Amino acid sequence: MADPAGGPGAMALLTKEPAPQTVPASDLPMKVYEVALNTGTDSSSGLATAGFRIAKYLPAEWHLNNSELYHKAFASCDHAERDRAEAKELAEYADAAAQRAQKDSTAAVGQRLEDIHFWKSQLQKEIEDLDAETCLLAAQKRRLERALDATEVPYTIVTDNLQCRERRQAPDLVCDEVERELLKEADLIRSIQELLKRTLIQARNQMRINREHKEVCEMDWSDKVETYNIDDKCGRYSNQSTNIQFHPTSVKFEESTSTPETWAKFSHDNIYRAEREKLASINLRDLIDNILHDTSEDMRKQCAAVNEAFEKRCEELYDTKHKLEHHLKNILKEIGYQEANIAALKQAIKDKEAPMKVAQTRLYDRSFRPNVDLCRDEAQFRLVSEVEELTESIKSLKKKLLESEQSLRNLEDTRMNLEKDIAVKTNSIFIDKQKCMAHRTRYPVVFKLAGYE
The whole-number pLDDT of residue 25 equals 47
Q: Has residue 16 got a pLDDT over 50? A: no
Q: Which of 33-47, 196-210, 282-296, 373-387 has the lowest mean pLDDT?
A: 33-47
Q: Has residue 184 got a pLDDT over 60? A: yes
Q: Has residue 199 got a pLDDT over 70? A: yes
d(CA 227, CA 231): 6
d(CA 405, CA 392): 20
Q: What is the mean pLDDT of the chain?
A: 81
Calculate what percentage of the chain has a pLDDT beyond 90: 23
Q: For residues 287 and 248, which has the higher predicted lDDT (pLDDT)?
A: 287
Q: Has residue 188 got a pLDDT over 90? A: yes
Q: How confident is the model at residue 415 (pLDDT cuts 50, 70, 90)?
A: confident
Domains of the chain, by residue range, sit at: 112-237+259-314, 328-367+375-447
The whole-number pLDDT of residue 95 equals 82
Q: Has residue 26 got a pLDDT over 60? A: no
Average pLDDT over residues 404-418: 88
Q: Has residue 70 got a pLDDT over 90? A: no
Render pLDDT for 128-170 as a digit per residue (tens, 0 to 9): 999 999 998 988 888 888 888 888 989 999 999 999 999 888 7
d(CA 154, CA 159): 9
Render pLDDT for 218-277 as a digit per residue (tens, 0 to 9): 999 999 999 889 888 888 877 777 787 877 776 676 677 778 888 889 999 999 999 999
The whole-number pLDDT of residue 277 equals 92
pTM: 0.53
Neighbouring C-beta atoms of residue 343, cutoff 10 Å:
11
Task: Specify the fold of 112-237+259-314.
Answer: Substrate Binding Domain Of Dnak; Chain:A; Domain 2 (1.20.1270)
For residue 376, the one-letter residue type is R
What does the angle CA 379 – CA 381 – CA 383 come to, to the nearest 5 degrees? 70
Q: For residues 51 and 339, which has the higher predicted lDDT (pLDDT)?
A: 339
Average pLDDT over residues 289-310: 91
Render pLDDT for 33-69 as a digit per residue (tens, 0 to 9): 444 444 554 544 445 555 555 567 788 888 888 888 8
d(CA 357, CA 403): 27
The whole-number pLDDT of residue 210 equals 93
The whole-number pLDDT of residue 398 equals 86
Closest CA to 434 of 426, 422, 423, 424: 426
